């Protein structure tokens, strides 16, 4: 399939493909109907999908291509059965390609066998986007980890999808450049995964999410064609198929090379830690800082429980008596940064700040950020398991939604911890629990659903940076009309008419397509 035909296909399709189980005979049906060993879960159920048996013909073809980089041992399959979510599948075969051509051949083999395939980076996603379903073949891109070329004049780097986010910025540091998106999993997440989920991170407030930092993507489409989406020109012509692909979670093909835009390291950086005796004052200070016309590079918030667990884990000097802290980072030219520091200080004092701590040097700055970036790992000091959500609400509704999160957790006898990107209202409520406790999964997932609902009712959206995956696909009807959903399905079908590329992700399923479209956009929603 050529790029030029994609847009034509989007507008020429006359039928809508429903997920398996559709009773509408006028709809085309997914190949997954014929795949054994798949059980459609409810939105928040933990589930396991076990293949009936290994397809030896399929495995032999893949092994002939890849040698020992085609794996089907139980141990290997177990490693690739999950991502960072609490959802679990079971791949039939794991492939570890080292080139675009190998990815292309894997896709073609899967097509001949009508076998679904799932592209996987580091597996750090938190919405089940890389969980294999329907006896899927996993295409793991970890060995495609080369930085191919760095163009200093145009500030572009061509990289393979398996390059780790932090490794790229580390290699670029002597050149005075970095890759701006910085998820909390920055040390281990891959650039390919960042593209799949349109990842953000603390510094996306000022610098934007992954889509703002990708110029072009080489893709193996689901029909096996290799094509280039986007280009390196300042004003690309035609439809933005690059932007369409970013955030598609592997449902439109497999990225094999990525041209990322590089950001110059700022000449001056100041990092501040503000503490408040009331979380409401901290949340109000967030909105007040933005109203001043100041857009910090990062504006992060942690509540009391998060402060305590992070400080016990990292010992970054966070004030454990505080009800909330704000981590504020300003960067740019020295004069502008110092002016920004004074604005933040003035606004914080007007909102009853306790203390304002300015990192004295790079070591202290790194320690403050170490606390924030290790917050999720620190949860283990409280409970062995956690369920992390990702929603976005208007900044003015932060306090209202946070209070609802605490009430929801209390109602389900759970511990709620809040660590989030306050500047853009991107919440990450953490529900800490012990999976060994009888009935706990049901309580956790019920609480998760209530948190999502509360965010939507406040005018928010389902996800800020973690994607939809399996976790939230059944909630898409909370935001989108039936027409919206059908249009999205047509776009997906233009890329993947056979429904083999990471199936059953992002878009909802149901006995009828209309069953998934129960709610319309609430008034004031951010869409």
Q: For 119-176, what is each residue's pLDDT tens digit?
A: 999 999 999 999 999 899 999 999 999 999 999 999 999 999 999 999 999 999 999 9
* Tokens, residue 272: 């501040």
Higher pLDDT, 381 or 267: 267
pLDDT for residue 352 is more than 90: yes
Query: How far apart are alpha carbons 93 and 135 in whole angstroms?
Result: 8
Query: Is the torsion defined by CA of 325, 329, 335, 340 positive or negative?
Result: negative
Q: Does 258 share its domain with 165?
A: yes
Percent of the chain with pLDDT over 70: 86
pLDDT category of residue 53 using cuts at 50, 70 and 90: low
Q: Does 98 share its domain with 155?
A: no
Q: Is residue 416 part of a domain?
A: yes
* Tokens, residue 80: 């690739």
pLDDT for residue 28 is more than 70: no
Query: How far apart are alpha carbons 136 and 83 in whole angstroms?
Result: 14
Give mean pLDDT, residues 377-394: 92
Q: Is residue 511 part of a domain?
A: no
User: Across the strands, what pairs with 178?
Assistant: 263
Q: Does 370 share its domain with 411?
A: no
**What is the DSSP secondary structure assignment for residue 144, as one 8-state letter?**
-
pLDDT category of residue 237 using cuts at 50, 70 and 90: confident
Q: Does 154 share its domain with 139?
A: no
Helices (H), 391-438: 398-411
Q: Is residue 441 part of a domain?
A: yes
Q: Which strands form 93-95's sheet, in the order they lie side by side?
A: 70-71, 93-95, 137-140, 117-120
Q: Does 122 share its domain with 228?
A: no
As to burial, measured by CB atoms within 10 angstroms (0-12 exposed, 13-18 middle, 19+ buried), residue 472 is buried
Across the chain, mean pLDDT equals 87
129-133, 245-249, 505-509: least confidently modelled range: 505-509
Q: What is the reported pLDDT for 47?
A: 38
pLDDT for residue 44 is more than 60: no
pLDDT for residue 270 is more than 80: yes
Q: How confident is the model over 193-230, as pLDDT tens digits?
A: 999 999 999 999 999 999 999 999 999 999 999 999 99
Q: Does 48 share its domain with 154?
A: no
Q: What is the reported pLDDT for 13?
A: 31
CA 184 centroid distance within chain: 11
Residue where one domain finishes, among candidates 220, 245, 264 = 264
Q: Is residue 306 part of a domain?
A: yes
Which of 156-167 are b and which e, b meaning 16 or more Cβ less than 10 Å from the residue's Cβ? bbbbbbbbbbbb
Number of domains the chain is built from = 4
Residue where one domain finishes, among candidates 356, 376, 396 = 376
Q: How confident is the model over 419-463, as pLDDT tens digits?
A: 999 999 999 999 999 999 999 999 999 999 999 999 999 999 999
pLDDT for residue 31 is more than 70: no
Q: Is residue 19 part of a domain?
A: no
Q: Does 178 share its domain with 226?
A: yes
**Sequence-ordered list of residues with C-beta below 8 angstroms from that of 361, at least 6 positions apart, any chain:** none
Are 487 and 505 contacting, i.e. CB atoms less than 8 angstroms apart?
no
28-32, 101-105, 350-354, 368-372: least confidently modelled range: 28-32
Percent of the chain with pLDDT over 90: 81
Q: Does 225 share its domain with 212?
A: yes
Give mean pLDDT, residues 261-282: 97
Higher pLDDT, 225 or 37: 225
Tell me the pairing of strands 385-388 and 93-95: unpaired
Residue where one domain finishes, among candidates 143, 172, 193 = 143
pLDDT for residue 466 is more than 50: yes
pTM given for the model: 0.86
CA dihedral of residues 212, 216, 217, 218 (deg, nearest 10): 180
Q: Does 62 share its domain with 116?
A: yes
50-54, 103-107, 276-280, 394-398: least confidently modelled range: 50-54
Q: Does 294 share its domain with 324?
A: yes
Q: Is residue 353 part of a domain?
A: yes
Q: What is the reported pLDDT for 86?
A: 84
Q: Is residue 2 part of a domain?
A: no
pLDDT for residue 510 is more than 50: no
Going from the C-alpha of 32 to that of each of 117, 144, 147, 434, the distances in angstroms are 11, 29, 36, 34
Domain that includes residue 124, residue range: 36-143
Are 444 and 429 contacting, i.e. CB atoms less than 8 angstroms apart?
no
Place of tokens 């590329």: 501
Higher pLDDT, 488 or 15: 488
CATH number at residue 326: 3.30.70.2190
Are 197 and 249 contacting, i.e. CB atoms less than 8 angstroms apart?
yes
Give mean pLDDT, residues 280-305: 95
Q: Is residue 487 part of a domain?
A: no
Q: Does 254 share its domain with 172?
A: yes
pLDDT for residue 361 is more than 60: yes
Q: Does 290 share its domain with 324?
A: yes
User: Across the strands, what pairs with 177?
Assistant: 264
CATH number at residue 393: 3.30.70.2740
- Which own/partner pairs from 114-117 qualify as long-range (CB within 8 Å, at least 24 positions apart)? 114/31, 114/34, 114/498, 114/500, 115/35, 115/55, 115/58, 115/500, 116/31, 116/32, 116/35, 116/499, 116/500, 116/501, 116/502, 116/503, 117/254, 117/500, 117/501, 117/502
Query: How far apart are alpha carbons 346 and 118 in whole angstroms?
Result: 50
């Amino acid at each position: 399939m050529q790029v030029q035909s994609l847009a034509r296909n989007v507008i020429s399709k006359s039928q809508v493909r429903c997920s398996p189980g559709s009773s509408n005979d006028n709809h085309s049906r997914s190949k997954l109907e014929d795949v054994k060993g798949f059980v459609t879960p409810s939105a928040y159920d933990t589930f396991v999908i076990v293949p009936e048996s290994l397809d030896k013909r399929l495995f032999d073809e893949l092994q002939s291509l890849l040698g020992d980089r085609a794996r089907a041992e139980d141990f290997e399959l177990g490693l690739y059965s999950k991502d960072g979510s609490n959802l679990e599948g079971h791949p039939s075969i794991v492939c570890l390609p080292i080139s675009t051509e190998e990815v292309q051949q894997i896709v073609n083999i899967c097509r001949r066998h009508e076998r679904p395939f799932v592209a996987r980076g580091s597996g750090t996603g938190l919405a089940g986007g890389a969980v294999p379903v329907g006896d899927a073949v996993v295409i793991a891109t970890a060995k495609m980890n080369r930085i191919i070329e760095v163009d200093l004049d145009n500030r572009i780097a061509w990289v393979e999808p398996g390059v780790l986010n932090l490794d790229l910025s580390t290699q670029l540091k002597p050149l005075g450049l970095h890759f701006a998106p910085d998820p909390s999993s920055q040390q281990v997440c891959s650039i390919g995964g960042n593209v799949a989920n349109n990842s953000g991170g603390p510094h996306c407030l000022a610098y934007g999410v992954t889509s703002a930092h990708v110029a072009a993507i080489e893709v193996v489409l689901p029909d096996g064609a290799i094509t280039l989406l986007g280009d390196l020109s300042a004003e690309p012509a035609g439809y933005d198929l690059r932007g369409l692909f970013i955030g598609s979670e592997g449902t439109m093909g497999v990225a094999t090379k990525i041209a990322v835009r590089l950001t110059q390291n700022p000449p001056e950086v100041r990092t501040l830690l503000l503490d408040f005796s009331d979380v409401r004052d901290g949340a109000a200070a967030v909105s007040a800082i933005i109203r001043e016309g100041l857009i910090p590079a990062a504006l992060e918030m942690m509540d009391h429980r998060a402060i305590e667990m992070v400080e016990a884990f990292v010992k970054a000097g966070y004030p454990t008596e505080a009800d909330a802290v704000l981590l504020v980072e300003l960067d740019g030219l020295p004069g502008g940064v110092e002016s920004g520091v004074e604005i933040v200080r003035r606004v914080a004092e007007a909102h009853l700040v306790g203390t304002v701590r300015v990192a004295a040097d790079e070591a202290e700055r790194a320690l403050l950020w170490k606390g924030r970036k290790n917050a999720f790992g620190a949860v283990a000091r409280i409970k062995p398991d956690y369920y992390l959500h990702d929603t976005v609400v208007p900044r003015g509704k932060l306090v209202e939604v946070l209070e609802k999160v605490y009430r929801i957790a209390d109602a389900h006898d759970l511990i709620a911890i809040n660590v989030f990107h306050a500047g853009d209202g991107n919440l990450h409520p953490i529900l800490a629990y012990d999976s060994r406790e009888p009935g706990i999964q049901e309580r956790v997932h019920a609480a998760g659903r209530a948190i999502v609902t509360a965010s939507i009712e406040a005018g928010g959206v389902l996800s800020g940076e973690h994607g939809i995956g399996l976790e939230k696909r059944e909630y898409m009807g909370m935001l989108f009309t039936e027409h919206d959903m059908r249009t999205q399905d047509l776009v997906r079908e233009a890329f993947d008419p056979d429904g083999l590329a990471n199936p059953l992700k992002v878009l909802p399923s149901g006995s009828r397509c209309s069953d998934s479209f129960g709610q319309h956009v609430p008034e004031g929603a951010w869409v």
